[in-house]
Chains A and B, each alone.
Chain A
Amino acid sequence: MSTDSRELSGAQIVCESLLREGVDVVFGLPGGAILPLYGVLGQYPLRHILVRHEQGAAHAADGYSRATGKVGVAFATSGPGATNLITGLATAMMDSSAVVAITGQVGRAAIGRDAFQETDITGATLPVTKHNYLVMHAGDLERTIKEAFHIARTGRPGPVLIDIPKDVFQEMATYTGNAEMDLPGYNPPGEADTGDIDAAVELIDQSERPVILAGHGVLISHASEELREFAERAEIPVITSLLGISGIATDHPLHVGMPGMHGVAYASIALDEADLIIAAGARFDDRITGDTKRFALQSKKIHMDVDPAEIDKNVKADVALIGDLKMVLGQLVPALKKNRHTEWLRRIEHLKAEHPSLSIRETDELLGQHVVKAIADATGGGTHIVTGVGQHQMWAAQFSTFDKPNRFHTSGGLGTMGFEVPAAMGVQVGVPDEVVWSIAGDGGFQMTMAELATLKENNIPVKYAILNNNQLGMITQWQDFVYNKDFYANAYTGNPDFVKLAEAFGIKGLRATSQDELESVIKEAMAHDGPVVIDFQISQEANVYPMIPAGESISELIEEPV
């Protein structure tokens, strides 16, 4: 036992352990079962941000983690508090975000008796957490919290939930300050097997039409620099998945863009025409592959992933490099021969000219694309962009520009409407000196806009750009394209006045209804020291192009009619 050893309550052990893990901010909302923890929280140098809904706490912790690379922490009480976290945990799980959620549970004697505000939250969150714990003894808290943070942030990161009964918070136990983890089954890989590296080098050196498909792993592993070296050394064009955006600078000559369902056509075609796809921390999501039986049939695949279970899951790999991407690229790049793929790059330039996916149609109306482009032009490539899911997300993915890594934060895997409000809050708390814009849909914004009160209380200066078309735009688009124009439940005919709404929260509200107003409104928002909500009233007559319908392939590509 170290000299640090002392008798503390479970609640104190939680706080001490959080400090030891380097936690400085927690997003949460108290309730009966977690009150013993809140009873001591004020005595510790932990900033607590009181949210309006626990889903907001989970998304904020997720956003904080994505922006900082640290573990985001959320607190909630038992029962409804805990179940309200679930969407946030599932979002973090799908996008490999490091979150630790601590929930209160009813007292040990009441567990299993359907007590007031009791939910089996470890049972309920089994499929949406990387791991979870129900801690039945205060003496186990220190080790459990240490394990939880280790699991959340290492390997393929993910959310970990720790459920703590009310009386465990109150129980006394010894806090040692150096608990040992007991995780014999958890050994995240580091470097890749050297034989596999050799096999990959051979494939890359011989390839004539290689592409890199860069995913979230590049950003999680802080491997942007290694990715750039890799691409430049062997002159390989870089395609980014939705979550891989900002993994390479938008203006880099080898940057191609996002492929897939709403990706730029030339990226999708390049993937199809390639003879080698090198997936770097990307998981061949169905939004990229469409029908896997018809996906990229001409190419061999090298799949780099820290998670062995991703190999061959969706697309069969010819060579798998299992390890931490930064280390794997560190092994791979020096072994590659310097190479040129002039003809292949020329082909891609030709595709870009033939398929101008990023040209915006001539119109006097205000389009979502105009707004995203104007924000990108006005703020520069270092701005953090946070989105929910839908048309606004796809326009943000297509038209945002980045010159620094890890600046695009979106609910990619789960596709969570409403992510954009609290996640942007968490991003801004994580990077207080950087500019954070949330590009929101009017639908998603209304799902989580209660957090505007949290933003006001804490003066968190996120700029919210609502791309307001008074409808669920992507639903409208699918009903238009796929469901025979049978429009139903797609229109919001009674949206609030978002400017007045912002003002009701004590937040600056702005509005733009035409292209001419964009620049001045964005400038005004940037100049304001505090949160801003801008109601961009955009045209309803707008679809996201290109589009490859779900489950189809590149041959079903739909481009914007000219």
Chain B
Amino acid sequence: MSMNGSSPGKGANGLSKRTVIALVQDQPGVLARVAGLFRRRGFNIASLAVGRSEREGMSRMTFEVEGDPEIVSHVARQLDKLIEVVEVQDVTEWDIVWREMALIKVSATAETRGEIMQLTEIFRATIVDVGAEAIGIEVTGDPDKIDSMITLLRPFGLREVMRTGRVAMPRASLEVGGKDGHNVRDKDAKFWVPNSPDSPGEKRTGSV
């Protein structure tokens, strides 16, 4: 179970998923513009998470987009055309940290409560709510981990699942003055090499 994988996952339909981060002006309608663009260009969003950024008046969006790198490159360029979108990056090949959070309400009786609590501990999840017949659990991690936890909790009786969608952030460079998100694993040496010359995510001729 990887906590920080940087390889793209697979969607339900077998298409590979890519991670795109956008910095957008925090204005009314910006979400509608982004969603409308995805719909009319025929792109599929697997997940979308939005929240305020460190810059005043700006939000960050993390998308998981289904499709091959070429399609996602189109997505990114179309997104970048939106006036309120300040910056777009396909960070799939980058060295990123990603997380998703889920709230899970599962049925719990006196007999099953202990087992559920054990599972919670194994997944380093937290019990955030306890009722007469159910328990609320908060779990954070990469989507595979959350999927696994949900699968294991299902037999107890899933009452409600709420997932945030993935948020992603390029990892800080290991080198002073290096570019974030560009630490590259050196397979032989088994350690991270910052800003390797053939690091991924570099601009192709003429692209954004």
Contacts and interface: CB of A to CB of B under 8 A. Distances in A.
B32 A185 contact: no
A308 B80 contact: yes
Given A122-B29, A185-B25, A311 B207 contact: yes
A308 B83 contact: no
A428 to B, nearest CB: 32
A319 B205 CA distance: 7
Contact of B205 (A130, A184, A195): A195
B57 to A, nearest CB: 9
Contacts of A131: 83
B190 interface: no
Contacts of B24: 185
Contact of A185 (B73, B77, B82): B82
Nearest to B73: A312
Given A127-B40, A151-B83, A313-B74, A308 B207 contact: yes
A321 B206 CA distance: 6
B84 interface: yes
Nearest to A302: B206
A185 B30 CA distance: 12
A271 B85 CA distance: 37
Nearest to A122: B29
A193 B82 CA distance: 22
A322 interface: yes
A185 B84 contact: yes
Interface in B170-208: 205-208
Q: How large is the interface on B (under 10, 10 to 19, 20 to 34, 35 or more residues)?
A: 20 to 34
A126 B78 CA distance: 14
A204 to B, nearest CB: 15
B33 interface: yes
A130 B37 CA distance: 12
Interface string A170-193: 000000000000011110000001
Contacts of A319: 205-206
Contact of B86 (A126, A185, A313, A321): A185
B206 A184 contact: no
Interface in A261-290: none
B36 interface: yes
Interface string B70-103: 1001100110111111110000000000000000
Interface string A292-323: 00000000000100011101110001011110
Interface of B: 24-25, 28-29, 32-33, 36, 40, 70, 73-74, 77-78, 80-87, 205-208
5 contacts: A130-B83, A193-B206, A308-B208, A319-B206, A321-B206
Interface of A: 122-123, 126-127, 130-131, 134, 151, 183-186, 193, 195-196, 199, 303, 307-309, 311-313, 317, 319-322
Given A311-B206, A317-B206, A322-B206, 17 more contacts: A123-B32, A126-B33, A126-B36, A127-B36, A130-B83, A183-B83, A184-B86, A185-B25, A185-B82, A185-B85, A185-B87, A199-B205, A303-B206, A308-B81, A308-B208, A309-B78, A320-B206
